[in-house]
């Protein structure tokens, strides 16, 4: 039987439950844990089953599925180093989801009894476990449909509960005070005056609405860590929405920032620095644990990339020098299974049917031969043509008035000519505004971002940047109208420059598409660089192998030289 103790030891050191423990402590834990095997398509557990512990994936992939109207759909993918079955960490209840082996899987099963012993012996793991359970429950209620294919959410959190209380205390106190004051005048002083009754009802509705708005506002903000990126979602109900994100491989440093009150209560900011930008996780509980989760995800992504490169190099080398193909264990994950994730069709966020129809009608987003072109929202067009349209409408009514008042008359032809010229000028004004709106385009190709600004009959400005240099991508919707009509601005940080795609329709989808283009380009670029390097190294080894095979034995060549005619002549002499 294969001994996986060393692999388990390495794996535990990269999971935030155990990464604060010393090597001796990790060794003690790894010696207690056993591996369990699942065949491809085997059901690991189903919704409703007793939650007996949790699992850590040692090899292979596991699909986590949630049932909606008796139809299971995939909500996450787990692979080497990921854990699942968080219901078992809470020591109560049953499974909330289904888990199915997508490939042959080797997993570590930590049952409830073992987990209880570990928590008693190593109390340092209790807080990380509690944080993960809370994150898992939050994720089940908010699956985040903007995720890419097989993009797994490994952590999600809202701002600390203290921030919620700070937000709802003012409307709560002011509301109670105002209601008591109005009630006093209404029921005691004024003998139930009608105006005071209306004021009482208005006061109750106002402060109740304020309280609910603050509660919704707090619940709309999320900090998310996936196996590909970090994401900060912020939304002020009815006024503002923003999503800021950065790929894991663009992260330079992760640090915490706390105030004195935050240190007392246990919350702070997590500041994620990329090459030129920041992603902030604001006012989160246990920020130091979140830093460890991010670093674990970065390490796991780096390990997977390195392992994939190593397998690819070995396969190429074996092919070049004529060796047999690599022997693949039935529980090992194949290279094709790892690399096919990016080829799947991504999910897109869709708006209502009317909004989609108007978007298509005005050509707000067009894609041809892989090139995506965005235009500013049709609401901006309406703002541009508002005055020429109103002027044209006014001229129309003036024309109708002149027909009824001046026709027939000597001056009617002159009046009609003036109105025609004015109408032509207004039409040209209207058409100029329309063409000015139509000329502004934002273009995303496979390898470039292009911001095109052109004035009709005037100057043209064109800015472009390689898509590979993107550091951060975020969007915001500011104001009630932009939320209702679903338009906003996408900010793309490239080097020391920020590209802005202003007033684009469905900015969250535009942000997602840009991020996916960035990921796809980087993967292709890395693949090309790796293939070039592999080919070069393989060629050197192939040449070395040929030299070794063709090398003539020294004894044979020496004996042949000794039998030459020149030597014979010397001996006879």
pLDDT digits (tens, 9 = 90+) for 516-530: 888 788 878 877 877
Higher per-residue pLDDT: 309 or 435 = 435
Residue 335: pLDDT band with limits 50, 70, 90: very low
pLDDT-wise least confident of 162-171, 231-240, 320-329, 482-491: 320-329
10 Å CB burial of residue 279 (0-12, 13-18, 19+) is buried
Tell me: cis bond preceding 257? Omega within 30 of 0 counts.
no
**pLDDT per residue over 558-568, tens digit each?**
444 445 444 44
Q: What SS3 state is found at 149?
A: coil
Q: Which residues pair with 284 in a beta bridge?
A: 268
> Is the pLDDT confidence value at 486 over 90?
no
Q: What is the pLDDT of residues 365-406, one digit of tens each?
A: 999 988 999 999 999 999 999 999 999 899 888 888 877 776
Residue range 90-98: mean pLDDT, rounded: 81
Cα gap 98→44, rounded to integer Å: 8
Mention the CATH class of domain 1-128.
mainly beta
Residue pair 249/227 in contact by the 8 Å Cβ criterion:
no
pTM of this prediction exceeds 0.85: no
pLDDT band at 236 (very low <50, low <70, confident <90, very high): confident
pLDDT computed for residue 551 by the predictor? 65
pLDDT of the residue at 535: 77
Distances (CA, A) of 360 to 377, 382, 385, 485: 11, 16, 20, 14
Percent of the chain surpassing pLDDT 90: 30
In terms of residues, how long is the chain? 573
Select the more confidently predicted residue: 522 or 505. 505
d(CA 374, CA 365): 5
> Rounded to whole angstroms, how far apart are CA atoms 528 and 540?
19
Q: What is the pLDDT of residues 167-201, one digit of tens each?
A: 899 888 888 888 888 777 767 766 666 777 777 77
Could you tell me the end-to-end alpha-carbon distance of the chain, in angstroms, rounded to an integer? Answer: 74
Among the listed residues 551, 51, 491, the one whose alpha carbon sits nearest the alpha carbon of residue 232: 491
DSSP 352: -
pLDDT at residue 364 in the model: 92
Tokens of 573: 């002499």
Q: Which 3 state secondary structure label does DSSP give 287?
A: helix
Domain boundaries, the chain: 1-128, 161-218, 353-518
The pLDDT of residue 572: 42
Architecture of the structural domain at 353-518: Roll (2.30)
Identify the sign of the CA torsion 323, 329, 335, 340. positive
Condensed to tens digits (0 to 9), the pLDDT of residues 424-483 reads 999 999 999 999 999 889 999 988 999 998 888 878 888 999 988 888 888 888 888 888
Whether residue 155 contacts residue 224, with contact meaning beta carbons closer than 8 Å, is answered with: yes
pLDDT of residue 326: 67
**Phi, psi of 42, rounded to the nearest 5 degrees:** -75, 140
């Amino acid at each position: 039987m294969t001994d996986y103790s060393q692999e388990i030891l390495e794996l535990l050191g990269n999971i935030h439950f155990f990464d604060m423990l010393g090597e001796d402590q990790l060794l003690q834990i790894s010696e207690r844990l056993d591996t369990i095997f699942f065949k491809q398509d085997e059901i690991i557990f189903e919704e409703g089953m007793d939650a007996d512990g949790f699992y850590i994936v040692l090899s292979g992939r596991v699909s986590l599925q949630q049932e909606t109207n008796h139809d299971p759909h995939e909500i996450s993918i787990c692979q080497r180093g990921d854990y699942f079955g968080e219901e078992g960490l809470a020591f109560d209840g049953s499974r909330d989801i289904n888990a199915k082996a997508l490939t042959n899987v080797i997993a570590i099963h930590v049952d409830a009894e073992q987990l209880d012993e570990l928590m008693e012996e190593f109390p340092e793991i209790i807080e990380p476990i509690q944080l993960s359970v809370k994150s898992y429950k939050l994720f089940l209620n908010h699956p985040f449909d903007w995720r890419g294919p097989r993009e797994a959410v490994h952590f999600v959190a809202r701002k600390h509960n203290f921030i919620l209380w700070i937000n709802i205390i003012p409307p709560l106190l002011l509301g109670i005070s105002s209601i008591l004051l109005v009630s006093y005048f209404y029921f005691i002083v004024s003998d139930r005056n009608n105006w005071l009754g209306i004021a009482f009802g208005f006061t109750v509705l106002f402060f109740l609405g304020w309280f609910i708005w603050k509660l919704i506002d707090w619940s709309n903000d999320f900090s998310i860590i996936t196996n590909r990126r970090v994401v900060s979602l912020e939304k002020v109900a009815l006024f503002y929405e923003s999503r800021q994100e950065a790929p894991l491989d663009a992260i330079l440093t992760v640090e915490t920032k706390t105030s004195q009150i935050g240190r007392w209560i246990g919350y702070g900011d997590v500041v994620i620095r990329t090459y030129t930008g920041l992603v902030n996780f604001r006012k989160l509980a246990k920020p130091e644990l979140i830093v460890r989760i991010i670093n674990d995800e970065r390490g796991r992504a780096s390990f997977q990339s390195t392992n994939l490169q190593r397998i690819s190099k070995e396969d190429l080398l074996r092919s070049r020098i004529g060796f047999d193909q690599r022997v693949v264990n039935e529980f090992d994950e194949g290279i094709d299974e790892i690399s096919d994730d990016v080829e799947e069709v991504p999910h897109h966020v869709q708006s209502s049917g009317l909004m989609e129809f108007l978007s298509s009608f005005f050509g707000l987003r067009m894609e041809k031969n892989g090139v995506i072109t965005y235009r500013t929202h049709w609401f901006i067009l309406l703002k541009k043509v508002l005055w020429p349209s109103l002027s044209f409408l006014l001229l129309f009514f003036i024309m109708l008035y002149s027909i009824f008042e001046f026709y027939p008359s000597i001056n009617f032809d002159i009046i009609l000519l003036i109105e025609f010229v004015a109408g032509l000028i207004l039409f040209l004004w209207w058409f100029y505004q329309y063409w000015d709106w139509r000329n502004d385009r934002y273009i995303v190709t496979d390898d470039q971002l292009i911001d095109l600004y052109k004035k009709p009959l005037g100057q043209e400005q064109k800015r472009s940047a390689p898509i590979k240099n993107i550091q951060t991508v975020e969007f915001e919707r500011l104001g009630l109208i932009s939320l209702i009509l679903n338009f906003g601005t996408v900010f793309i940080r490239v080097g020391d420059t920020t590209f802005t795609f202003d007033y684009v329709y469905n900015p969250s989808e535009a942000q997602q598409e840009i991020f996916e283009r960035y990921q796809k380009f980087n993967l292709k670029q890395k693949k090309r660089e790796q293939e070039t390097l592999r080919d070069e190294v393989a060629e050197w080894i192939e040449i070395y192998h040929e030299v070794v095979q063709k090398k003539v034995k020294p004894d044979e060549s020496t004996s042949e030289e000794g039998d030459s005619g020149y030597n014979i002549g010397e001996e006879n002499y």
